[in-house]
Structure 1
Amino acid sequence: MYRPVILAPLDHYLPGFKAGGALRSITNLVDRLSDEFDFRIICADRDLGDAAPYPDIAGRRWVHVGPAQVYYTAPQERTLVSLSRILREVPHHLLYLNSFFSPRFTILPLLARRLGLIPRRPTILAPRGEFSPGALALKRRKKQIHLTASKTTGLLTAVAWQASTEQESADIRSALGPCAADVRVAADLSSPLGPRPPPHGPRAPGAPLRVLFLGRISPMKNLDYALRVLASVRVPVVFSVVGPPEDAAYRADCERLAARLPAHVAVDWRGPVDPSHVARVMAAHDLFFLPTRGENFGHVVAEALGAGTPVLLSDTTPWRGLAAAGVGDDLPLADPSAFAAAIERAAAATPGEAAARRTRVFAHARERQRTSADVEANRMLFTAALGGRQAAAALT
């Protein structure tokens, strides 16, 4: 059966997992649409922050990873000349870029495209929330320089944009102006849920509330804010921090904040966790706390809900109306006392109330996934860019 070839350079892919949401977005997309599209992925030969390449993974050649074919690049291959050669040697119908600010796997392919070093194919760029106000506020000057250069040098000519929500579509248009003439909304795809959530051990009466932060330890995820909130909480809490330290200096700042917490708040630094264990880790906690500065989707939120764990989020994600649904809270970062109050309410719940809430949370996750039209939106994202199957076939 004919399948258009989608060539997707991105920083990290399987078996990596530390890069978080963008990696999960691509793996879920490949799993859902590989019967219709032939995905070829070019990525780094190591996980986020790792000095050594993946063991037992052959680099510098194409290998099958699930339904996709993957080329793992060594550091010396991540130059304009070498990456252009790899891209040029893969016959493809569509170039699919992830992360606007990736220097190796977005900026170099766009530059190669602009200079005519690779065939000019329909191109889709998914910025994965990088144009949200919270994201642009971090390293603002550096990002503004790159935005200006990209807009004025023609790198973004004839690029289509993928937004996960209407809000992200507005963020893209606001940041890029006329360069964002073609923005299409196709939400990230979450992992399928099982028939029931993982087992949860109820919290014993009087025991500390088990609160979880799971994500990259970086300013964007706002762990320092969570620690400051916990400093004002008046109930016993065990706060588990799970995730890779993307920014060592930021991690050190967070450790200093944790050391100053009151005695009734304990912090358990666990490091990264394999994706196969995430559901079990989620289910072992009473509340998932992520005061992120912004998310275009938030796979980790979907995973928490799918584990039956209530969530406490900032109002900078697409996961809104949580209190009305009885599954959590989405609160403004300008009101840290509201976050503290939500934690104290969760601690005050009786075992029966907590169990009923977990049942409600999982049912909400199942209903949201069952009624989703996101797979079709992603399918149409690609077919529209290709101009139909006949047009794509003509490129081979």
Structure 2
Amino acid sequence: MSKENIQLLENESGAKNPDKPVILVFVGNYLPGYKAGGIIRNIANTIDHLSDGFDFRVITKDRDLGDTEPYGNIRFNEWQEVGNAKVYYLSPEVASLKGIKTLLTHTPHDIVLLNSFFDPLTIKTLFIRRFSGIGFKPVIVAPFGEFAWASLGQKYLKKYLFIKAAKLLGLYKNVIWRVSSEFEKNDLIKEMNIKSGTIHITGDLPIKNIPDFLSQEPTLSGSDPHDLRIVFLSRISREKNLDYALKVLSKVETNILFDIYGPAENESYWKECQSLIKQLPNNIKVNYLGNATSDQVLRIFSQYDLFLFPTGGEAYGNVIAECLTVGTPVLISTETPWRDLNNDGLGWDVDLEKMDTFVNIIQEFSSLSSAQHSEKRRVVKENIQRRLFDPFVLSSNIQLFENQLPEFKK
């Protein structure tokens, strides 16, 4: 990076605000991207809720997950305002050890927040921290469910070898870990063999401003009013279990409209799913509707009767929270922190070993009248507020950062 660019970097990043600690956030993909899923929404929601007390500066790649071309509506390699944060979009040549070291050195900050255990930005930052000799502020690492077996089991040998190498090199020595639940905490301890005292559990913050259109009754143009409208919205990858959802629907006898949204990031797995779709009975109509951008997700969920998401594992499940926010009940696996949903009138969480239970719930749910579906939506919208806006969730996120700052330590 040239001297001119370094000077520009220092000028644009701005002087450190004495009233707001600066959180320097590294994440592989950020807004306007959407293909990385919940990690983007989690960071954006956190920034929206905490920006009054903290100054967030996000360093990310200049393109969406899996894309070969950069975004067309941003400036590269310079700071710019995006929502309530300043964001620096790295071009490939700047996303090097040298480029990241320059950013770390010339961007005032109090805490470094690394999102994802395996992302190259996390690895490079920790490598610089371990071997460059430059002084480092406290580091928080948020794995986002990467140690759940449904995720870790994909390309396991490669991940296993990296974990072993990272331990030997001490890349993660003296970091603070941020997880979303006891489930994720236990997975992390099991794989990394770390002390529980270094792990901070925070709830994931919900979307801060819910659009006005969500007060309207759902409509889906072109759909048969007698069909139960079910949606699957997620990355199409093996750990998200779209194939399981299709196998469930193959046993359902009522009329179903099943719409699928999400990037088909695993081509061979998507071909398996397409084969299952071709084998479905005539009462199951399936549409693949492509990607859904972040600003489309809530409106999409509002148009369906049910979200079918038998995921293999979620650290939190932002997509579940977004769906419930609009009043659409969910039918999910027990491999998420979202449990006892039926007791709160929010839907159902079912063990993946009990496929027939998934089938029976859909059969029974499809028999409800329009009035009963409307009442179900009202109950979901009302009851989800208690879970999403639990004061502990906000306070735990604030404490995650305050606990790393000298002025808050006893």
Partners of 1:212 and 1:288 within 8 A in 2: yes
In structure 1, what residue type is equivalent to 2:123?
I
State how 1:233-312 maps to structure 2 within 5 Å: 233-312=252-331
1:74 and 2:91 aligned? yes
1:265: Cα distance to partner?
0.8
1:320-361 deviations in Å (ceiling 9; x for gaps):
101122221101111211111111111111222222111111
Unaligned runs of 5+ in 1: 392-396
1:61: Cα distance to partner?
1.0
1:22 and 2:39 aligned? yes
TM-score w.r.t. the length of structure 1 is 0.93
Partners of 2:346 and 2:384 within 8 A in 1: no
Unaligned runs of 5+ in 2: 1-17
1:49: Cα distance to partner?
2.2
Structure 2: distance between partners of 1:324 and 1:239: 26
Decide whether aligned partners of structure 1 residues 144 and 202 sit closer, same or farther in structure 2, where only a CA change above 3 A counts: closer
1:150-194 deviations in Å (ceiling 9; x for gaps):
112110111000111122112211111136650011111110346
Larger CA deviation: 116-125 vs 324-333:
116-125
Decide whether aligned partners of structure 1 residues 277 and 29 sit closer, same or farther in structure 2, where only a CA change above 3 A counts: same
Q: Which residue is 2:377 aligned to?
A: 358
Q: Which residue is 1:173 aligned to?
A: 189
1:205-227 deviations in Å (ceiling 9; x for gaps):
97221100011111121111111
Q: Which residue is 1:394 aligned to?
A: none
Tell me which of 169, 175, 189 is aligned to 1:153: 169
Partners of 2:229 and 2:305 within 8 A in 1: yes
Decide whether aligned partners of structure 1 residues 372 and 311 sit closer, same or farther in structure 2, where only a CA change above 3 A counts: farther
Q: Which residue is 1:200 aligned to?
A: 218
Larger CA deviation: 260-269 vs 172-181:
172-181
In structure 2, what residue type is equivalent to 1:119?
G
Q: Which residue is 2:65 aligned to?
A: 48
Decide whether aligned partners of structure 1 residues 206 and 30 sit closer, same or farther in structure 2, where only a CA change above 3 A counts: closer
Partners of 2:259 and 2:286 within 8 A in 1: yes
Q: Which residue is 1:386 aligned to?
A: 405
Decide whether aligned partners of structure 1 residues 382 and 259 sit closer, same or farther in structure 2, where only a CA change above 3 A counts: same
1:290-324 deviations in Å (ceiling 9; x for gaps):
11111111111111111111100000111110112
Decide whether aligned partners of structure 1 residues 139 and 181 sit closer, same or farther in structure 2, where only a CA change above 3 A counts: farther
Structure 2: distance between partners of 1:274 and 1:147: 33
Q: Which residue is 2:74 aligned to?
A: 57
TM-score w.r.t. the length of structure 2 is 0.90
1:26: Cα distance to partner?
0.7
Partners of 1:156 and 1:179 within 8 A in 2: no
1:129 and 2:145 aligned? yes
1:111-150 deviations in Å (ceiling 9; x for gaps):
1111125432100001111112322222221221111111
Partners of 1:151 and 1:179 within 8 A in 2: no
1:95 and 2:133 aligned? no
SS at match of 1:377: helix
1:187 and 2:206 aligned? no
RMSD: 2.0
Equivalent pairs counted in the alignment come to: 390
Tell me which of 358, 361, 380 is aligned to 1:342: 361
1:163 and 2:179 aligned? yes
Structure 1: distance between partners of 2:354 and 2:78: 51
Q: Which residue is 2:155 aligned to?
A: 139
